[in-house]
């Protein structure tokens, strides 16, 4: 039986993966949390990845995008330096690594969906640290897949969907940015894709093919559209007003346009991707239960 190590199992993606494991009978899984493995400690990483794992999924990240502007050191340690430790330890045991990155590696000036080979130009400390992490991993363990995703939400942890539900209940009126365009991604869908990549390799159906891939749900939305959809599905009657980015200043700049082109992952791994609104409905249904 193949062995999979999932690092960072208490985040949104980590918990979605954990929730899927009871349905899996083609590998055994070990999960770590911040308490059992702090990825900023090379000693801890080396100790954990000394056992023979076949695959390692890294779900850890410093994801507080605005806080990172004042906390560059820790953001870099978690999002960049740790990927060298993980990559080196994985290479020593010949493990294949799947790591997750972000649309924030782009500057958002495109007018068509980003492909993997488009020039990166991160505008925030978070985006820069994540880009460095991609490079550190691929340089230290070429047998790695990096999946860039966007606007992640789930039933677990704090995220935009939960915040908009709470604010929609608390307030009569809400201002939401309409001039940042991207695609919401249900972490459950991403978790299934990661398992599909590993299972396809184990079953010798589709070989593990290292490199960078883009994955989000299908379609396009602004944060304003996303909010209206959340409120509509939840039956929340709040007056949501579209505002411009300049009217909602944040410490970290966000890309104005960060839609990801997913042709590469769809072709390589022969998959269809759910439309963002359908996935949102699924997540809200789960939240209601």
Ligand X SMILES: NC(=O)c1ccc[n+]([C@@H]2O[C@H](COP(=O)([O-])OP(=O)(O)OC[C@H]3O[C@@H](n4cnc5c(N)ncnc54)[C@H](OP(=O)(O)O)[C@@H]3O)[C@@H](O)[C@H]2O)c1
Q: Which of 53, 126, 188, 215 is catalytic?
A: 126
Interacting residue ranges for ligand X, rule: CB under 6 A: 8, 10-13, 34, 37-40, 59-63, 78, 100, 102, 130, 149-152, 157, 187
- Which residue in 216, 199, 207 sits closest to 266, CA to CA? 216
Q: Which is nearer to ligand X, 11 or 255 (CB)?
A: 11
Q: Which is nearer to ligand X, 130 or 231 (CB)?
A: 130
208 close to 96: Cβ distance less than 8 angstroms: yes
Tokens linked to 264:
């590469």
Smallest gap from Cβ 174 to ligand X, in A, equals: 19
Q: Which is nearer to ligand X, 34 or 284 (CB)?
A: 34
**Catalytic: 126?**
yes
Cα-Cα-Cα-Cα torsion 222, 69, 247, 242, nearest 10 degrees, comes to 20
Residue least distant from ligand X (Cβ)? 11
Q: How far apart are alpha carbons 95 and 273 in whole angstroms?
A: 27
127 close to 79: Cβ distance less than 8 angstroms: no
Q: Which is nearer to ligand X, 39 or 125 (CB)?
A: 39
Region for 248 from its dihedrals, namely left if φ exceeds 0, alpha if ψ lies in -120 to 50, beta otherwise: beta
Q: How far apart are alpha carbons 139 and 95 in whole angstroms?
A: 14
Cα-Cα-Cα-Cα torsion 170, 68, 186, 158, nearest 10 degrees, comes to -40
- Which residue in 8, 41, 260, 11 sits closest to 155, CA to CA? 11
Q: How far apart are alpha carbons 101 and 150 in whole angstroms?
A: 9
- CB-based contacts of 190: which residues, under 8 Å, 6+ apart? 13, 16, 100, 147, 149, 152, 215
Q: Which is nearer to ligand X, 163 or 239 (CB)?
A: 163
- Residues designated as active site: 126
């Amino acid at each position: 039986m193949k062995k999979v190590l999932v690092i960072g199992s208490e985040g949104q993606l980590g918990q979605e993966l954990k929730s899927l494991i009871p349905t899996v009978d083609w590998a055994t899984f070990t999960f770590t949390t911040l308490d059992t493995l702090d990825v900023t400690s090379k000693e801890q990483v080396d100790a954990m990845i000394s056992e023979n794992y076949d695959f390692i999924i890294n779900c850890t990240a410093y994801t507080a995008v605005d806080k990172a502007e004042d906390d560059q050191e820790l953001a870099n340690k978690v999002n960049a330096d740790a990927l060298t430790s993980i990559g080196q330890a994985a290479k020593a045991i010949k493990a294949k690594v799947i790591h997750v990155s972000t649309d924030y590696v782009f500057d958002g000036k495109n007018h068509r969906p980003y492909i993997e080979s488009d020039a990166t130009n991160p505008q925030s400390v978070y985006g820069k640290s994540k880009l460095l992490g991609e490079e550190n991993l691929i340089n230290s363990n070429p047998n790695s897949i990096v999946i860039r995703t966007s606007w992640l939400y789930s039933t677990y942890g704090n995220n935009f969907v939960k915040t908009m539900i709470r604010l929609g209940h608390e307030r009569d009126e809400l201002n939401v940015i309409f001039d940042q365009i991207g695609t919401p991604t249900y972490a459950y869908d991403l978790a299934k894709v990661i398992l599909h990549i590993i299972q396809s390799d184990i079953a010798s159906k589709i070989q593990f093919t290292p490199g960078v891939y883009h994955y989000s749900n299908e379609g396009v939305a602004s944060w304003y559209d996303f909010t209206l959809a959340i409120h509509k599905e939840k039956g929340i009657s709040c007056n949501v007003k579209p505002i411009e980015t300049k009217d909602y200043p944040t410490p970290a700049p966000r890309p104005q346009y960060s839609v990801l082109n997913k042709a590469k992952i769809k072709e390589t791994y022969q998959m269809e991707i759910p439309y963002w609104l359908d996935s949102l409905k699924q997540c809200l249904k789960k939240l209601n239960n």
